[in-house]
């Protein structure tokens, strides 16, 4: 039986802990899952920091109970809200004559470009190649075994806020977790959801949770740019509650009924059940207009963020939507696509029983942690293990067509 690993994923409304192992044909087999609702985070801060430890403990114990095991090592995802991405061109000589490139050469290249060792605010958690370059000008994603005099690359460095790491370190000590390491949730999601060919051509995806949305532009194995937006599915719920003068709980139930594909009129209603076994009805046209209005605000914010992106990605690629904040509203992708003036495709894990957008980040972290096993690091993962390559792609040249 393959080795089991455990991950902890911070959603903006739920903490998830998964315990799993590698199955047949690179599938993931879950043996334990624990979830805990919590206040979440916004604008780089946990909303109820005093209750965070209890929420984490509840999720951990739930996973341990369902798996009938005790977690000793935990891989913790750093959400986009508490991280930043930085890309750098790096180059090193390999000697006086051509020789084959080794994994140690790639590790040294990433280390050479690591300018964040003494950064006052951030700590490096992931270092991944957008592409590597050889002395003949070729751009590759996997140059190991090829010959060159020099090795260079465009490297993506993902940094975690030290205040976040310090807080979670303290909680891990409090909960007696023997060891833990960190990795970028965003990088893990990108590597997990999109195959090699898609990433080599650029991908743009939006991970929307309850209170925040992270927009990412990725290529190769790296994150080129990320933008954190303080809008999520909870803002749609709040707008419904205010606009229709109902409770947040009823508005949440109503949101799940909304279907933006319907051509509703003034007589159509959405009906929800209440805790008293009664029902409440809301005008479907009003509800749909409110939801569309919030989606347009989200789209406008996304467009403003992407205008800041320094990379010229192709016009023909669609944008992808994942996370649980918007993907479950019927027709929301079409409304978002119209507002963004770009095709939008909902993307979710391609795993049996787990093809749900809200699981993208958690399963992505588990997949990346499994690929890093069995050499489990303690504390922050070593730089070598942070150079994460999903599959051997030989000497396939990166398509540079725009």
Break the chain into its structural domains and give their ranges: 83-158, 197-346
Which helix (H) or strand (E) is 283 found in, with range? strand 279-283
For residue 236, how many C-alpha atoms fall within 13 Å in the half-sphere facing its CB?
Answer: 31
CA distance 89 to 113: 8
Listed residue (165, 170, 208) closest to 76, CA to CA = 165
Residue-level length of the chain: 402
Which helix (H) or strand (E) is 32 found in, with range? strand 28-37
Q: Please identify which residue in the block is written with the tokens 């918007």.
A: 326
CATH for 197-346, among 1.10.150.110, 3.40.50.720, 3.30.420.40, 3.90.850.10? 3.30.420.40
Which helix (H) or strand (E) is 111 found in, with range? helix 103-112
CA distance 79 to 50: 19
The tokens of 224 are what?
A: 């080129």
Which helix (H) or strand (E) is 296 found in, with range? helix 284-306
CA distance 105 to 110: 9
The tokens of 376 are what?
A: 């489990």
Longest pairwise C-alpha distance within the chain: 81
- 100: β partners: 147
Structure confidence at residue 1 (pLDDT): 55
Residue 263 per-residue DSSP state = -
Q: Encode the chain (402 residues) as per-residue pLDDT tens digits.
A: 578 999 999 999 999 999 999 988 888 999 999 999 999 999 899 999 999 999 999 999 999 999 999 999 999 999 999 999 999 999 999 988 999 999 999 999 999 999 999 999 999 999 999 999 999 999 998 999 999 999 999 999 999 999 999 999 999 999 999 999 999 999 999 999 999 999 999 999 999 999 999 999 999 999 999 999 999 999 999 999 999 999 999 999 999 999 999 999 999 999 999 877 789 999 999 999 999 999 999 999 999 999 999 999 999 999 999 999 999 999 999 999 999 999 999 999 988 788 899 999 999 999 999 998 754 444 444 344 444 444 344 444 555 543
The answer for residues whose C-beta is within 8 angstroms of residue 104's C-beta and 6 or more apart is none
CA distance 373 to 361: 18
Structure confidence at residue 26 (pLDDT): 81
Residue 16 per-residue DSSP state = E
CA distance 176 to 197: 42
0.95 cut: is pTM over it?
Answer: no
The answer to whether the beta carbons of residues 160 and 78 sit under 8 Å apart is yes
Fold of 83-158: Dna Ligase; domain 1 (3.30.1490)
Helix/strand/coil for 70: coil
Listed residue (272, 268, 270, 265) closest to 282, CA to CA = 270
Structure confidence at residue 36 (pLDDT): 97
The answer to whether the beta carbons of residues 15 and 46 sit under 8 Å apart is no
Structure confidence at residue 387 (pLDDT): 43
> Cβ–Cβ contacts within 10 Å for residue 312, how many?
8
């Amino acid at each position: 039986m393959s080795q089991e690993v455990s991950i902890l994923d911070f959603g903006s409304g739920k903490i998830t802990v998964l315990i799993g192992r590698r199955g047949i044909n690179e599938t993931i087999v879950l043996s334990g899952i624990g979830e805990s609702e919590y206040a979440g985070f916004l604008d780089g801060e946990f909303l109820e920091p005093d209750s965070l430890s209890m929420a984490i403990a509840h999720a951990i114990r739930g996973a341990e109970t369902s798996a009938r095991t005790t977690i000793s090592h935990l891989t913790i995802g750093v959400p986009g809200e508490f991280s930043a991405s930085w890309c750098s061109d790096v180059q090193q000589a390999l000697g006086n004559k051509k020789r084959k490139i080794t994994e140690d050469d790639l590790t040294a290249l990433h280390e050479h470009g690591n300018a964040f060792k003494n950064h006052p605010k951030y700590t490096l958690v992931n270092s991944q190649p957008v592409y590597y370059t050889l002395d003949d000008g070729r751009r590759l994603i996997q140059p190991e075994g090829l010959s060159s005099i020099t090795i260079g690359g465009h490297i993506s460095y993902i940094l975690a806020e030290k205040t976040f790491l310090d807080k979670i370190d303290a909680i891990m000590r409090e909960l007696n977790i023997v060891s833990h390491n960190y990795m970028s949730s965003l990088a893990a999601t990108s590597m997990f959801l999109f195959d090699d060919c898609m990433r080599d051509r650029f991908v743009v995806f939006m991970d929307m949770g309850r209170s925040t949305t992270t927009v990412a532009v990725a290529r190769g194995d790296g994150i080129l740019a990320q933008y954190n937006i303080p809008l999520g599915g909870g803002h749609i719920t709040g707008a419904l509650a205010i606009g229709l003068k109902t409770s947040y709980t009823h508005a949440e139930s109503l949101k799940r009924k909304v279907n933006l594909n319907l051509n509703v009129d003034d007589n159509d209603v959405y009906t929800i059940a209440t805790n008293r076994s009664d029902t409440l009805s809301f005008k479907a046209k009003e509800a749909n207009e409110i939801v569309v209005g919030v989606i347009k605000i989200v789209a406008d914010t996304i467009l403003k963020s992407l205008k800041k992106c320094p990379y010229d990605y192709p016009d023909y690629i669609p944008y992808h939507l994942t996370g649980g904040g918007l993907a479950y509203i019927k027709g929301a992708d079409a409304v978002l696509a119209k507002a963004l003036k770009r095709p939008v495709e909902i993307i979710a894990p391609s795993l049996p029983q787990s093809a749900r957008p809200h699981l993208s980040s958690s399963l992505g972290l588990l997949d990346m942690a499994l690929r890093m096993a069995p050499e489990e690091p303690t504390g922050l993962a070593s730089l070598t293990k942070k150079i994460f390559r999903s599959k051997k792609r030989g000497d396939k040249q990166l398509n540079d067509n725009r």
